[in-house]
């Protein structure tokens, strides 16, 4: 309860800070006369003369059924209107992907929902991005964002305040590219109907793209377009495929056709206005809504940067790029050294936000949701729940629990004493190749500290499974080239955190995660006996 109050207080404080910081110029604008008429497109329930739902009917004061479900493969038009006009605010909400009383089998996640906005009858969307990524919520994960143009309060109310002018017409739609429905979709879109829109007023654009993994020998391109306008924001999502820090790469921006970039940054975290790495945060103009674990193989980072006060202005063209350089583990380095300046092979996706007159020339398009899902990097996933009756363990209670929305649940072990706190998980290796061994486990307020051995050899450090809230965490243990055959991972209790009330353990899975192909090509550790010097690169 106390942690919930702290989160609510922080969110309230941040919202108040954004309001108080405000747009000084925006507040001044409110004291000026305004032209036009306010309008709204909404999911509020309407009925026709026959009393049945009619999107063009009258608002129904006797109904609270203001949400709409969107079945797989279907498109919901949220707004379709004639211009001139300016959209000033878009709000939507819907159920998360978890099973719910109103969605027994779960729902689509926001990465599987595609937001598209069309201006003036064009068949090419000016805005095309997964709903989540457009609101700086990447990887299909829900996260709170408290910023000036985008606010996702409590990780479930999606707001944007980008102004979107249109002249002839506008159509805003959401496409459900999931195999599950979008459940309980609510929306309100506020706009102002205008008499005219000046010829030099630019349109608002947002375009998603991805590279899984990034292309070797060329910087990652966030935006490349010809015309006149100004760049106003970036959302970037990175799934690391190598150990260590990915973000040493600089932003490089080419203005008006220049061959060498005149805007050149000092590092990825510096572009996102942080320093010495990234951590979870949300501020009016920059933030990192999602950051799971530092320096691991398979870590996720999502950050946003809004150029509201400092737009990049271009008259002929702009090309916004990001280097994908960072630290590298010795077994991925030709010289078997750990250095900070190596071209990495991580998975990148992004959304570029900009204003431009005319038609952009950026040819990126959002692939289908099934292609937006990050490819699996697991060589083998061992679920101990599948072998519950045959697991070797000390005396105590062992059972399967459905917790944390694990698809297979986890094995919960409550030993009778610290000395009985051990459990063994066997697995088979099919071929000799470089792999990373890790355990995905539950953390809770009554869980203990454990150490691991593999085939009797101590690996990794002490794993503390205590946390004041229930969550899951990856514990990375070993980089090795295991011999084909049978292996046994043993987890043994070595005590408890002084805050913990127990020495329990909950294991969702043991995972063998693939390493990049260049680890095989270089083969630095191929002929080494991992048992002599167990190594975890970080």
Query: Which 3 state secondary structure label does DSSP give 311?
Result: coil
How much is the mean pLDDT over the chain?
Answer: 93
DSSP type of residue 248: T
- Assigned token pair, 240: 């690391």
Which pLDDT value is given to residue 206?
98
What gap in Å lies between CA 28 and CA 511, rounded to an integer?
57
Report residue 274's pLDDT band, with 50, 70 and 90 as the boundaries.
very high
Percentage of residues of the chain with pLDDT beyond 70: 94
Which pLDDT value is given to residue 24?
53
Whether the predicted pLDDT of 112 surpasses 50? yes
What gap in Å lies between CA 9 and CA 289, rounded to an integer?
17
Superfamily name and number for 202-371: Protein of unknown function DUF2961 (2.60.120.1390)
Residue limits of CATH 2.60.120.1390 in the chain: 38-201, 202-371
Which pLDDT value is given to residue 5?
36
Residue limits of CATH 2.60.120.260 in the chain: 378-522
Tell me the whole-structure pTM to 2 decimals: 0.93
- Assigned token pair, 29: 């604008």
Task: Give me the torsion for CA of 424, 427, 432, 435, rounded to 10°.
Answer: -70
Q: CA geometry: angle at 11 spanning 66 and 144, to 5°?
A: 60
pLDDT, tens only, 462-511: 999 999 999 999 999 999 999 999 999 999 999 999 999 999 999 999 99
What spatial distance separates the first Cα and last Cα of the chain, rounded to whole Å? 36
Q: Maximum Cα–Cα distance for the chain, whole Å?
A: 81
**Domain 38-201: CATH architecture, name and number where available:** Sandwich (2.60)
pLDDT, tens only, 318-355: 999 999 999 999 999 999 999 999 999 999 999 999 99
With beta carbons less than 8 A apart as the criterion, state whether 312 and 322 touch: no
What top-level class would CATH report for the domain 378-522?
Answer: mainly beta
Q: CA geometry: angle at 126 spanning 120 and 129, to 5°?
A: 145
């Amino acid at each position: 309860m106390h942690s919930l109050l702290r989160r609510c207080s922080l969110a309230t404080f941040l919202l108040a800070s954004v309001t108080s910081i405000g747009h000084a110029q925006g507040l001044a604008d409110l004291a000026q006369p305004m032209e036009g008429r306010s309008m709204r497109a909404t999911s509020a329930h309407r009925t026709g003369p026959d009393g049945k739902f009619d999107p063009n009917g009258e608002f129904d004061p006797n109904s609270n059924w203001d949400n709409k479900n969107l079945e797989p493969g279907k498109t919901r038009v949220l707004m379709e209107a004639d211009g001139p006009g300016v959209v000033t605010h878009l709000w939507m909400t819907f159920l998360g992907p978890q099973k719910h009383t109103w969605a027994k089998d779960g729902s689509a996640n926001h990465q599987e929902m595609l937001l598209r906005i069309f201006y003036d009858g064009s068949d090419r969307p000016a805005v095309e991005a997964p709903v989540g990524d457009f609101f700086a919520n990447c990887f299909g994960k829900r996260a709170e964002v408290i910023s000036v143009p985008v606010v996702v309060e409590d990780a479930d109310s999606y707001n944007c305040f980008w102004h979107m002018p249109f002249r002839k017409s506008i159509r805003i739609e959401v496409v459900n590219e999931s195999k599950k429905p979008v459940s309980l979709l609510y929306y309100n879109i506020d706009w102002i109907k205008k008499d005219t829109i000046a010829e030099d007023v630019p349109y608002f654009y947002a375009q998603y793209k991805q590279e899984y993994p990034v292309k070797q020998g060329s910087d990652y391109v966030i935006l490349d377009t010809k015309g006149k306008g100004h760049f106003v924001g970036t959302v970037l999502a990175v799934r690391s495929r190598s150990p260590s820090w990915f973000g040493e790469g600089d932003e490089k921006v080419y203005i008006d056709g220049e061959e060498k970039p005149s805007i050149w940054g000092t590092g990825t975290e510096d572009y996102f206005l942080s320093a010495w790495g990234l951590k979870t945060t949300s501020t009016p103009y920059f933030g990192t809504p999602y950051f799971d674990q530092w320096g691991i193989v398979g870590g996720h980072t999502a950050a946003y940067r809004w150029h509201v006060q400092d737009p990049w202005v271009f008259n002929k063209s702009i090309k916004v790029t990001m280097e994908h350089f960072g630290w590298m583990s010795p077994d991925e380095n030709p010289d078997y050294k750990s250095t900070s300046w190596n071209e990495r092979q991580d998975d990148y996706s992004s959304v570029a936000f900009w204003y431009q007159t005319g038609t952009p020339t950026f040819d990126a398009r959002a692939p289908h949701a099934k292609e937006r899902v990050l490819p699996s990097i697991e060589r083998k996933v061992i679920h101990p729940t599948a072998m519950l009756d045959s697991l070797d363990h000390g005396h105590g209670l062992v059972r399967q629990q459905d917790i944390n929305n694990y698809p297979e649940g986890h094995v919960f072990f409550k030993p009778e004493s610290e000395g009985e706190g051990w459990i063994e998980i066997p697995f088979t290796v099919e071929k000799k190749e470089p792999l990373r061994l890790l355990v995905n486990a539950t953390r809770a307020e009554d869980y203990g500290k454990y150490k691991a051995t593999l085939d009797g050899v101590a690996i990794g450090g002490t794993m503390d499974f205590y946390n004041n809230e229930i969550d899951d965490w990856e514990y990375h243990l070993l980089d090795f080239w295991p011999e084909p055959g049978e292996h046994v991972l043993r987890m043994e209790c070595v005590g408890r955190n002084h805050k913990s009330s127990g020495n329990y353990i909950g294991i969702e899975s043991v995972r063998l995660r693939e390493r990049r192909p260049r680890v095989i090509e270089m083969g630095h550790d191929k002929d080494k006996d991992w048992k002599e010097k167990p190594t975890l690169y970080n």
